[in-house]
Structures are given as C-alpha cells and as structure tokens.
Chain A
Amino acid sequence: MKKVLSKRIFRDFKANIGRYLALSVVIALCMYLVISIVGAANMIIKGTKEHQIRNHVEDGQFETFVELTDEQISELESFNITLERQFSIDVRLNNGDTLRIFKNRENINLIELVDGSLASDDSQIVIERRYSECNGISIGSTITISDTTYIVSGIATTPDYDNPKEEISSTATDSDSFGTAFVTPSAYEELLNSDIVTKAEIYRYAFVINGDFSAEDLKDWLTAHKIEADEVTDEAFLEYWERSGGRIDDLQEGIDELLEGSDELMDGITELCDNNDDLNEAASALVDNYFDSASSSLSSYGINVELTEYNYYDTLTALSENTPNTAMGESLTELRDNLESILVFRDGITEYTNGTSECADGTEELRDGISTLDEETDEFINDKLDMSISNLSFFLEASDNIRISAAANDVILNYQVGLVAGVIIMVLFTYVISVFVVHNINSESSIIGSLYALGATKNDLITHYITLPVIICFISGLVGSLIGFSPVGIRYQTADSYAYYSLPDFKTIYEPYLLFYGIIMPPLVAAVVNNLIIHRKLSSTALSLIRNEQKQGKIHKISLNGLGFIKKFQIRQMINELRSGLAIVLGLFISLLIVMMSLDCYTLCSNVAKDTKNDTHYEHLYMYKFAQEELPEEGYIAYGSSLKTQRVFGYTFDAFVYGITDDNPYFAVELPAAPDEVVISEMMHTKLNLNIGDTLVLCDNEENKLYAFNVAGIADYSAQLCCFMSIDNAREIFGAEEDEYNIIFSDNALEIPSNELVLNLDKAGITKGVEVFVDLMSGLIFILAFASIVILILVMYLMMKVMIDRSSYSISLMKVFGFKGKDIKKLYINGNFYLVVIGTLILLPLAKLIMDALYPYFISNGAININLNVNPLYMLGIFLMVIILYFIISTVLLIRISKIVPAEALKNRE
C-alpha cells in the first residue's frame, strides 16, 4: 500500500504545483531573509572578534605628556602588561587629505593586510582600506608626502581603526579625506623631522593586560607618576599651566621679593637711625650756641641777662616792651622769634629721630613676618600642594573606544531585528503550513477514510501525507538557506558595513543554529504540524472520514437574519474560512510588523539626521583640553564636562553637561537656578527614559565621582545626549574658576590651534555623520520592505486561493445556478476586503506600537535619539499598498475562479 500511496505524492505535487511553488517561495524567502540578515550581522560580529584576536587588539590606550622611560616601561611589563608605542603624526597631503602615519606594528593592533605586503623599505607605505577605496588607491599607487614619494605596498586594516574616525570625538567618519598609513620606523622618523607634520607627535601607547593588573590599576599607576611642568612640550598645557598650577610659582616669587624688599627697607632704616644721636646732639648744641650768642649780644647793649630756653621769651618780651627805642624793641622781638624757631627745629629733630627708631623697630617686625610668611608658604606648598603633574594626558579602555568594534556594534540592531523577524516568520509559516495541511486533509477526507477502512495504518497515512510537505519545506528551506549564505545573501547584507567601516574580508560563517533554522526547521515544523493534524483527523471513525463530516462550531450557526443576501453570504463564507482568514490576518500582521520594522528603521535614521540638523543651531563647537580665561573674539562660552550615564540596557553612554550662559542663542533652554537641577535634552529624555522630577545620575570615571541632578525640564534638543545648567553652576560643580570656560559655540570658525582642543565639531560634519545612518541601514530597510510585500502577497494569495479551493464545490454549484465569475468573486472573495481593511486599520497602528516598543531594545547600544514619529503619509501609503495588493490578488484569483467548471458540482457523490 505504501508503494501505491507514494505514487500519489508526485501526482499531488503536479496537480497543486502553483500552491506548492508559492509556499516554497514564502519559505525560501523567509529563510533567505533571516539567514542573510542574522548571518551577515553574525559574520561582522564574529569576524570582528576574530580579527581582534588575530591581531592582538588593545585592551586600551593612553597618551602621556612625555615619553615613558625604558625603566617605566620595564616596570609596567613586569605587571604582565604588554605595551607598544603607537606614536603617530598627522600629515597633510597635497589634496588636503590628512594621513595619520604610524610605524609598522609588532605586538598590538597588528596590521592585517587585505592586499599586498607590509612596508619593508623606506619608500613603501601601507594604506588603510576605506581610505584607499574612497581615493582609488591600489597596490603600486604612489603617495607623495612632503617631497618624498611612497609606493603603496599594501592595503590593510587594523582593529583599533575599525571605524576610521579622525578624532575619537568626531561625529562623522570621512574616509574621503582621512585615513591611516603605516611605514617603516626609519621612514617614520624621517617624516617626524619634516615640516609637513600638522599635528605634533602623539605619545600614544597601546596596552594589553595579561595578568591581574587591571586597566584601573594601570591608570592609577600612570596617574601616580609625576613630571615637572617644564618637562612638558605641549603648548596648550603650558599655557594652561601658567594660569593654574604656574601661579603658585608667582606667589612664591612674590613672597621672596617681598622678603627681599623688607630686608632692604630694614637696612636703610637702620642706617638712618644710626645718626639720630649726633643729630640730636647737634641740634642741642645749636640751641645752646644760639642762646649764648643772644646773651652776648644783649650784654653789648648793656643788658646783662643770661637767656635760657625757659626765660628767653618773657625776658625778651619785657625788654622789648620797656625800651623807648623802637628799633631796639623790634630787634629784641626778632631775637625772641629766632630763638623760638631754633627750639622748634631742635624738637623736630628729636621727634624725627624718635620716629625713625620706631620705624626701625616696625621694619624689623615686618621683615620677620615676611620671613615667616615665606617659610610657611614654602612649607605649605611642599607639604600640602603637590605641584608636580601627572604624566597621563589621556586614557581610554577599548570598551569605550568607538573606533573599536564599531561595525559589530552597528549590526547588533540587524542581529536583533533578524532574530525577532525569524521568530515571527516561523510562527507565520507554521500557521500557513497548518492551513494547507487542514485543507489538504479535509479535501482528502474521504480518501483517508477509505484507506483507513481498507486497513491502512495511521503510520502509513501519516507518512504518506507528511512526505510532500516535508520535502517541499526541506527543499525550500535548503534553497532559501543556500541563497542566504550566497553572495546575494550574507555578502549583500554586509555591503553597507564594508562601505563605512575598515574591515578585512571576513569569511562567511555557517552557524549551526542558522543551518538548523534554515534547513531543518521548515521540514520539522511541517512534519510536526502535519502529524498533529492527521493524528487528530484519524481520531474520527472511518465512516465519518468517508462522509467528510465537518464539525461546525457555534460561530458557524450565528443568525444573520435581517442582512442582505450578499452580506449574509460573505459573512458565512468568512466564518467558514475562519482559519484561512486568520492566516490572512496573521500574514497581514506579520507583514505589517516587518514593514514597520523597516519603516521605523528608516524613520529613526532619517529623524536622527533631520532632528540633528534642525536642532544644531551653532555652526562650530570647540571644546578645549584645558579651561580658558581670555574671552574669545566671538561666540558664546560655556563650561562643560563629558560624563558617563548609568547602564541602560547594559550599555553606558557619553553624556555632556553643558553650563551655558543665559544669552546663549543656540539652545532654547530655561536654565534652572538651583545647582543640582538640570534641563535634559530630548535625546536624554527618550534614551534614558527620564522625565521631569526624575534623578539623572552621571559618572565621572576619571575622577571616580558620581553626580546626581534633578531633572527640572526637557529641552527640545535631540542632537546630543546632554543636559544644561547655568555656566556658574557648572563652574562650581566641576571646580572651575569664576571666569573660566572650556567650550565655545559660534557661528563662524575660530582660529584655535587643534592641539588645544579636545573636540572640534562643525554643523556640516555633525550632519554628515548622522546622515550616514540612512545609507548604512538602506540595505536592511529595503530588504525588510521588499520581504514584507512579498510575504503579504504570497500569504494573501495562498490563503485566498485556499479559500477558493476549499469552496470550489460550492463555487461550481453557483456556476450551475448561473452565477458569473464577478458575482462569485463578490460572494467568496470580496468578504476578505472588509477583513483586510479592518485588519489593516487595527493592525497597522498595533504593529507600529509594538515596533516602537521594541526599537529601544534594538538600538540599545546606540546613543541616538529615539524619534519614531512617522510621517502619517507613510502610514496612509502602507494602508493603500495593502488595499491595492488585495485588489490585484483578488483580480488574479478570478482566473482561478474561472477554471472551476460547473460540472464539478455534479461529481459530488456520497
């Protein structure tokens, strides 16, 4: 019997080739979709990991003000840390491009050649892959730097420049104008000494941790190693040092000068005091001489009186008043006044010498005080203020380095979307298969019953009925998987990553779970579903099967009195074809979910670009390495700091705190007065799910500090994960001086040396950086949209065709009665119009809601604003697309209806 039954398999396939081909296309497409999306993401993620392992990716990197000494390097190596100097210089090419030149590498972040060989002599250079692709550089091309021409010996990638951004802080990656290059050590030295270098050599070390000494320990060790400021050559630092740490020297110098001055003062005054006694004695002698001389003069006039300082006034006054000689009287008065003056002079001298003596005492005290001040200041500075500086200027762990694993991080979204789509698709096609099986089993009911009655076993029948669907599903899955793993699958999906990131050629990974999903799962699902349904069917009696008795639920017996015939018939038909109708609704829902996944992806990326462009009102943003005091020529100053958020879905993000002035025209923010309050950006609101009244906690990893702010408002600013406060509050919180700033927003470019800046952004660069997301995601967006349309068409077509097939008997009966094709379509198909319209009206917003809820998880690794507000026209477009597809499919199905002949009804025999 088995042999006889097996002959029917091919005949069944031939008879229903259209249906089976459509099912095959759905399965193959689904498998292709999931395998290509997930496989591509997996290839990038795993390939990146292997690339990193193969090339000894750094665990982190740091920069120092001065080169580490050999002893320091040896000490670090004794902690089981591998270090490699990866110093670089930036050179400007004739066409304006910047090449960052490194020496060939030996231990860390090794150069992986995509083509050619490493630079082996001083005339050769290896160019990073993306820059070479963007600039049409290939092996044998020449590059002229300064007056030296280099021959390109290799095209390569390195794991530390996965995303070849010029600056870590850059928003955009521009491989048209920036790339890395590698030369021999001697060629590097030669370039270092040339005048073409645009940026001073950076003392950057890459490190790999091999033991227990952690990155944190390394950072502490580096921080603890001090240098003197005068060892530093960084001009920006020196300028800052002059304004900050350098002022202690000024203080010390001032005190020294003061001490020196006080010494000189004391010496002078002492010298002045030395003649005080002589001066006093001379004044007394002068007074005595005057009085003696006056007494002698009076004697010559016959007046014998000895004048003293005690009697001269009264004596001379009396003599003057009693003499009849007027001239004599006047002379006596004049003598009296002269004696009085000489006494005043003498007393003045005495007062002066007393004063200088007191001054000498005070000066000595002053000098002692200044000396004490000098000693105490020195002691305080030496004991309490460590005025040496840490040699560490920059420290970045690999996990925080956006150049590393950038491509892998970007495709995590694809991976998540692919996996979710995979599950959704599996549910769909399991259901579609079940509808097919139920239809098949019902239409074969009398045959099954007859065979059962004739003695066929359950196993014979199950084997017979599951063979064809299992084979179809296996072949379709295999075909879908093969296409998925082929260049038009995984390779096609990775094209966007290769167009943006500097990656080596990764090998396609044949993941066992993907192979299982693509090849084993479809036939397995078909076998299980068939098995269950046939088992259930075979639980009926043979007679019941022969009579094809269908059980009708209560819903089938619903009363429809009062409705018009057409409506009544359509409702009956929809109830009768509930399973197929549900499959259409499910297919519609899944298609809408997938299309919404695509639309949300597009919306998210385009809104990021649009919002960033609209919200970025400044043209330039400069962030200094060190705080500044002198006001810029133009622009608006701010004081800010880059901190880290708490973990959100397992990821931390850089978050800026901007302390801005009230008159800053670039941000429409009402700044809170309280120092612990901030206004958060829209991006922070959506990404961190923070609202007014919540607490924003940010972390300064370098300083090991936590900051907690109350959210006082939400600014309509989506371009950055940031928050705002007043500049004064920011200065106070981050320990800056009253008039310091470290950020300038401006409309025009300012001439600030690049080595003074930690961040240099311009609106064009920011915009370009975010616009790339749409390009990056276009492959995924397109394939999801395409797949959703194909799935919708096929599911709708297949299920509506199943409805027609299941109703072929009654359709032929209708034809017997005189109904024409269009009338029959109206009765049997058009009821689905309401199903599709109502289904779309309900499911479209539902799919949008579900995807909107899922997207924050999909992009949990990205610091981008989650704005999924879609243009309503797109929703209308999708609705119209569904309706148009429905009309096309129902029109196509008229052909199938026309093939049902009236005589079909006459074949019906019990």
Chain B
Amino acid sequence: MYLKVKDIKKSYGEGGSYNQVLKGVSLNVQEGQMCVIQGTSGSGKSTLLNAIGGLDTVDSGSIVVDGKEIVGLKNDSLSDYRKENLGFIFQFYNLVPNLTVRENIEVCKYLSDDPLDMDELLTTLGLVEHQNKFPSQLSGGQQQRTAIARALIKNPKLLLCDEPTGALDSKTSRDILILLEEINRKYNTTMLIVTHNNSIKNMVHKVIIIKDGLISKDYENEQITPANMLEDL
C-alpha cells in the first residue's frame, strides 16, 4: 500500500467556534492508482488533501506515505517529505507570476536530484512554444499545463490535485484529464484528485466520498472510462 491514512481527526477553533472537520478518516491507496476524493463544500476533502500533503497538521491519527509516517514530523522533515515525494496541482494554478513557464517549472526541477527532462516534458505538455511566456500571457489551460509540468518535473511518486479542472472550461478540462491519465500511465504516478466534478470519478481507479468529515463511500471502479470518453465535464 503506497498511502495509508488511519483514523485522522482534525478540528479548528475552540469553545463555541469549535469545528471538527475530519472525524476519523481512514483510507488506503495503492501505488500507481488514480484516486478521486469527492464531497460537498466543507466536507473536509481539502483538509484531508492538505494533511496528506504535509501542509497542515492533524489532531490524531496516522498518515503513512511509502512506508513513512508523516504525522508528527517537524517542518523541515515535512519539507523534505514534500520535496522527495509530492507534486501539487491547484485549481488556480498558483504559478509564480514573474517567472516564465520554463522558470516556473525550474522551481521544482531545482528541488529534485533526479528530475525529468525539461524539454521532453515541455513537449509532452505542449508548452514548447510557450516556455518563455509569463503566466499572464497564457490561457487557463496553458497555465494549468504549466502547473502540471511544474509538479511533474521532479518525478513525484504522489501527485495531489486540488480541483485541477475547477477553473477550466469543458474542453480544456478534458485535455487536462487526458494529460493526467497519460502521466499516470507513463510514470506510474499515484494521484489523489480532489474534485466536485462527478464525471472524473469514472476515469480513476478509486473513489472516496467524504461527507461531514467522515468517509461515506470508498470503492474501486471495476470499469474505467478513458478521459477522452468522459461526458458532462
């Protein structure tokens, strides 16, 4: 098992404003699996993703990634964990505005001892002609492809995607999902995708649905629909 989450709880605030967002979430994801986490707003899906990404602490429970417990790690160790294992893709791309496409990707390349080939990745993602452009000169899809390239350059074992198509139109969303599918296939990257989009759950290996801080459904798709076949994106 590549990712093992066991009974994690997370709350915010005290007294009257106390809010337990995660009430004991457990899940497992195998290496190379694409997993979708779905839920309504405030269900705790992003909190769960942040906890797995080492961006937020949990009150209790255990998160083991590639055999390593990350709960309780100090900041520097968490940085090392993120640096060595993770790639992030955000809804709003979160590119550094004053860096070009290539430079944005180089940010993460710098962190890796064994990065992927930059030019090959730019070609794969269709960014060769845009590599010297700044984010403000790109469309949303191009920006998200840049964000994906940035996440992939260090060849992460686990890719965390927070609403990767949330800000994109239907066609671009499909392109991005096809891309993620290809990456998963090509690099055997484990992916956790937080999304509202109901169609995406059909293209992944595993689906986890969170409701009120608890996992309400956790199942693996018996039949996977390729991204290019998805409807209602």
Q: List 10 A-B contacts (CB under 8 A).
A: A565-B109, A568-B103, A575-B98, A813-B96, A815-B79, A816-B88, A818-B79, A818-B111, A906-B46, A910-B92
Q: Would B98 and A565 count as touching, CB distance under 8 A?
A: no
Q: Is B44 an interface residue when CB atoms closer than 8 A count as contact?
A: no
Question: When A561-B132, A569-B107, A820-B79 are in contact, do A906 and B55 touch as well, CB less than 8 Å?
Answer: yes
Contacting B at CB under 8 A, from A808-859, are 810, 813-820
Which of B56, B103, B108, B136 is A572 in contact with, Cβ under 8 Å? B103
Closest approach, in angstroms, between the C-beta of B13 and any C-beta of chain A? 16
Q: Does B97 contact A (CB under 8 A)?
A: yes
Most buried by A among B82, B96, B134, B136: B96
**A551, closest chain B residue (CB):** B136
B53 within 8 A of A: yes
List of A residues within 8 angstroms of B136 by Cβ? 549, 552
| A-B pairs with lowest CB-CB distance, top 6 | A818-B83, A818-B82, A576-B98, A902-B55, A565-B106, A820-B79
- Is A817 within 8 A of B90, CB to CB? no
Contact between B82 and A572 (Cβ–Cβ < 8 Å)? no
CB within 8 Å of A: which B37-90 residues: 46, 50, 53-56, 75-76, 79-84, 86, 88, 90
Interface contact A573-B98, CB-CB below 8 Å: yes
- Interface 1/0s, chain A 867-910, versus B by CB < 8 A? 00000000000000000000000000000001001110110111
Min Cβ gap B147→A in Å is: 10
**In the complex the two chains form, is A813's CB within 8 Å of B94's CB?**
yes
Q: A residues within 8 A CB of B103?
A: 560, 565, 568-569, 572
A909 CA / B46 CA spacing, docked (Å): 14
- Contact in complex: A556, B107 (CB < 8 Å): no
- Given that A556-B98, A813-B96, A816-B55 are known contacts, is A565 also in contact with B110, CB under 8 Å in the complex? yes
Bound Cα distance from A868 to B36, whole angstroms: 75
Q: Is B99 an interface residue (CB 8 A)?
A: yes
Nearest A-chain residue to B76, judged by Cβ: A820
Query: With contacts A818-B79, A905-B90 known, is A572 near B98, CB below 8 A?
Result: yes
| 525-581 of chain A: CB within 8 A of chain B | 549-550, 552, 556-557, 559-561, 565-566, 568-569, 572-573, 575-576
Nearest CB on B from A520, distance (A): 39
Known contacts A561-B132, A818-B86, A906-B162; A552 and B98 CB within 8 A of each other: yes
Find chain A residues with CB under 8 A from B178 CB.
none
Q: Within 8 Å CB of A556, what residues of B?
A: 98, 134
* A816/B82 in contact, CB under 8 A: yes
Contact B76 A557 (CB under 8 A): no
Q: Give, as a whole number of angstroms, the nearest-CB distance from B136 to chain A.
A: 7
Cα(A908)–Cα(B84), bound, Å = 24
Does B98 contact A903, Cβ atoms closer than 8 Å? no
Question: Are B94 and A814 within 8 A (Cβ)?
Answer: no
Closest to B99 in A: A572
Among residues of B, the one whose C-beta sits closest to the C-beta of A909 is B92
Knowing A559-B132, A903-B55 touch, does A569 contact B99 (C-beta < 8 A)? yes
CB A572 to nearest CB in B, in angstroms, measures 5
With the chains together, A302 CA to B128 CA distance in Å? 181
Chain A residue numbers with a CB within 8 Å of B83 are 817-819
Q: Does B167 contact A (CB under 8 A)?
A: yes
Nearest Cβ on chain B to A894's Cβ, whole angstroms: 13
CA distance A905 to B79 in the complex (A): 15
A817 touches B106 (CB 8 A): no
Contacts of B54 in A (CB 8 A): 902
What distance in Å separates the Cβ of B79 from its nearest Cβ neighbour in chain A?
A: 5
Q: Which of A550, A903, A906, A909 has the most CB of B within 10 A?
A: A906
- Give the residues in chain B near A810, CB-CB below 8 Å: 96
Q: A561-B132, A819-B79, A902-B55 are in contact. Are A568 and B106 (CB under 8 A)?
A: yes
Total interface residues on B, CB under 8 Å, equals: 36
Q: How far in angstroms is the closest Cβ of chain B from A804?
A: 15
Contact in complex: A908, B92 (CB < 8 Å): yes
Query: Considering only CB atoms, which chain B residue lies closest to A556 in the complex?
Result: B98
Cα-based distance from A327 to B48 in the complex (angstroms): 186
Measured CB to CB, the closest approach of chain B to A240, in angstroms, equals: 86
- Whether B80 contacts A818 by the Cβ 8 Å rule is yes
Taken together as a complex, chains A and B put the C-alpha atoms of A813 and B98 apart, in Å, by: 14
A818: chain B residues at CB < 8 Å are 79-84, 86, 111
Interface residues in B138-174 (C-beta closer than 8 Å to A): 162, 167
Contacts A565-B110, A568-B103; A552 near B90 (Cβ below 8 A): no
**Residues in A neighbouring B132, C-beta threshold 8 A:** 559, 561
Distance (whole angstroms) from the CB of B63 to the closest CB of chain A: 16
A906 contact set on B, CB distance < 8 A:
46, 50, 55, 90, 162
Smallest Cβ-Cβ distance to A827: which chain B residue = B107
Flag if A817 contacts B111 (CB, 8 Å).
Answer: yes
Chain A hits for B167, CB < 8 A? 910
A556–B99 CA distance with the chains assembled, in angstroms? 9
Q: Tell me the smallest distance from the CB of B66 to a CB of chain A, in Å.
A: 15
Could you tell me the distance in whole angstroms from the C-beta of A812 to the nearest C-beta in chain B? Answer: 9
B residues in contact with A910, CB < 8 Å: 92, 167
- Min CB gap B42→A, angstroms: 15
Residue of A nearest to B98 (CB): A576
Chain B residues in 8 Å Cβ range of A560: 103
What's the nearest-Cβ distance from chain A to residue B48, in Å? Answer: 13
* Complex alpha-carbon distance, A111 and B83, angstroms: 83
Task: Please report the C-alpha to C-alpha distance between residue A569 and residue B110 in the assembled complex, in whole angstroms.
Answer: 11
Q: How far is the CB of B89 from chain A (nearest CB, A)?
A: 11
* Cα of A810 to Cα of B94 in the assembled complex, Å: 8
Contact A817 B82 (CB under 8 A): yes
Residue of B nearest to A902 (CB): B55
Bound CA span A909–B86, Å: 22
Across-interface contacts of B50 in A (CB, < 8 A): 903, 906
Tell me which residues across on chain B come within 8 A of A575, comparing CB atoms.
98
| Residues on A with beta carbons closer than 8 Å to the beta carbon of B91 | 909
Chain A positions within 8 Å of B110 at CB level:
565-566
Shortest Cβ gap from A557 to chain B (Å):
7
A502 to B167 CA separation, bound complex (whole angstroms): 80
Contact across chains for A908 and B94 when beta carbons are under 8 A apart: yes
Give the distance in Å from the alpha carbon of A815 to the alpha carbon of B56 in the complex: 12
Q: Which residues of A contact B96 (CB under 8 A)?
A: 810, 813
Q: Please, how many angstroms separate the alpha-carbon atoms of A820 and B109 in the complex?
A: 15
The distance in angstroms between the C-alpha atoms of A902 and B52, with both chains bound, is 13
Q: How far is the CA of A817 from the CA of B81 in the complex (A)?
A: 10
> What's the minimum C-beta distance from A517 to chain B, rounded to whole angstroms?
39
Which one of A559, A813, A814 has the highest number of Cβ atoms from chain B below 10 Å of its Cβ?
A813
When distances are taken between beta carbons in the complex, the residues of chain B under 8 Å from A576 are 98
A898 to B74, CA, bound (A): 13
**Structural contact, B98 and A817, CB atoms closer than 8 A:** no
Min Cβ gap B84→A in Å is 7
Cα–Cα, bound, A254→B120 (Å) = 124
* Assembled-state Cα–Cα distance A657/B106 (Å): 76
Expressed in whole angstroms, the Cα–Cα distance for A810 and B135 within the complex equals 14
Could you say which residues of chain A place their CB within 8 Å of the CB of B97?
550
Question: How far in angstroms is the closest Cβ of chain B from A300?
Answer: 167
Contact between A814 and B107 (Cβ–Cβ < 8 Å)? yes
A-B contact sample (20 more), CB < 8 A, given A556-B134, A565-B107:
A556-B98, A560-B103, A565-B103, A566-B110, A568-B106, A576-B98, A816-B55, A816-B82, A817-B88, A817-B108, A818-B80, A818-B81, A902-B55, A903-B50, A905-B90, A905-B94, A906-B50, A906-B90, A906-B162, A909-B91
B91 to A, closest residue via Cβ: A909
Q: Which residue, of B108, B110, B132, B162, has the highest number of chain A Cβ atoms within 10 A?
A: B110
Task: Name A548's closest neighbour in chain B (CB-CB).
Answer: B97
Instruction: Provide the residues of chain A in CB contact with B88, threshold 8 Å.
Output: 816-817
Please determine whether B82 and A557 come into contact, CB atoms closer than 8 angstroms. no
A interface footprint on B93-121 (CB within 8 Å = 1, 0 otherwise): 01011110001001111110000000000
B residues less than 8 Å from A908 (CB atoms) = 90, 92, 94
Q: How far is the CB of A554 from chain B (nearest CB, A)?
A: 12
Determine the residue in chain A with the shortest Cβ distance to B108. Answer: A817
B55 to chain A: closest residue by CB: A902
Q: How far is the CB of B7 from chain A (nearest CB, A)?
A: 22
Kindly list chain B residues whose C-beta atoms are within 8 Å of the C-beta of A569. Answer: 99, 103, 107
